[in-house]
Structure 1
């Protein structure tokens, strides 16, 4: 069964014992972005 990207990201982050803030710091992005990715809220705008 194919996992959704947001579920896979959450699994990998927790498996690595990282908080959203720690992962965000490693990727040089905001923790809000990580949260949006994990909840599936963030989507590319279509014009």
Structure 2
């Protein structure tokens, strides 16, 4: 499973919208959308926060 697929699955399991996850990470909703499409990846500092938010 790719990073994009994992991210989307984990976000949905936590019942978070892209918008809410973006707010928690201090990024745009479009950034989260791109990550979930496999177009880009979050910066290291955002990955650390992402892991905490999604408890992974």
Fold conserved (TM > 0.5)? yes
1:30 is aligned, of 28, 32, 37, to 28
Distance in 2 of aligned mates of 1:22 and 1:7 = 18
Higher Cα Rg, which structure: 1
SS in 1 for 2:40: coil
Which stretches in structure 2 are left out of the alignment for 5+ residues?
42-56
Equivalent position of 2:14 in the other structure: 16
**TM-score scaled to structure 2, two decimals?**
0.69
**Which has the larger share of helix?**
2
Distance in 1 of aligned mates of 2:35 and 2:23 = 15
